[in-house]
Structure 1
């Protein structure tokens, strides 16, 4: 699990799969999934998605980048897929999140 956790931030934009993370950790996919859930509390891709959204939210807070640029930087091939994941995780679209920060700040 530690090897997979180190690999994700080392290549943030990489399109990770469970199979690839399992290879990095030198275990089977099912073993990685079970150990990951046991140690981290969620599956590897769920963890990866939440981590990427946290990075993206931080970039949105700092400002200066477009949503499309942030989406690519955190591993999403399309702004649309990123927006869906962001809203599912935070409850707000990236633009609504940015707007909320602007009004609150």
Structure 2
């Protein structure tokens, strides 16, 4: 029986490598195609394998990871500007980041910090 979830996916040679890349380089402009290329896999086979092992698509996982990092950065660095956090988690626009953050966390980044 295959292990499921993030911890189980870490043991998969392909998906474990991709998770490591996502976690260590969240600021990179990752796409499904770029992640698949990083493990020499077709886009469709990679996406299916990633979803089967983690229970969600690669971009959904990436976005959730970025939002968790952003929340931690906002909480741990109360005087950092939001646009500094935006860059660290891979967004190019504060507006796009704020929209994604609010959708994921239920409040705007500045409110979350309070």
Q: Same fold (TM over 0.5)?
A: yes
TM-score (normalised: structure 1): 0.90
| 1:42 and 2:56 aligned | yes
Q: Taking CA–CA contacts closer than 8 Å with sequence separation of 6 or more, which of the two structures ends up with the larger relative contact order?
A: 2
Aligned twin of 1:52: 66
Aligned counterpart for 1:86 among listed residues 58, 76, 101: 101
Aligned twin of 1:72: 87
- Give the number of the structure whose residues are more often helix, by fraction: 1
**SS of residue matched to 1:52:** helix
**SS of residue matched to 1:26:** coil
Q: CA deviation at 1:10?
A: 2.5
Aligned twin of 1:95: 110
Q: CA deviation at 1:96?
A: 1.4
Q: Structure 2: any 5+ residue segments left out of the alignment?
A: 1-14
State the alpha-carbon separation in 2 of the partners of residues 23 and 52 from structure 1: 21
Give the paired residue count. 99
TM-score (normalised: structure 2): 0.83
Q: Is the 8 A contact 2:27 2:90 kept in 1?
A: yes
**SS of residue matched to 2:61:** helix
Q: Structure 1: any 5+ residue segments left out of the alignment?
A: 100-105
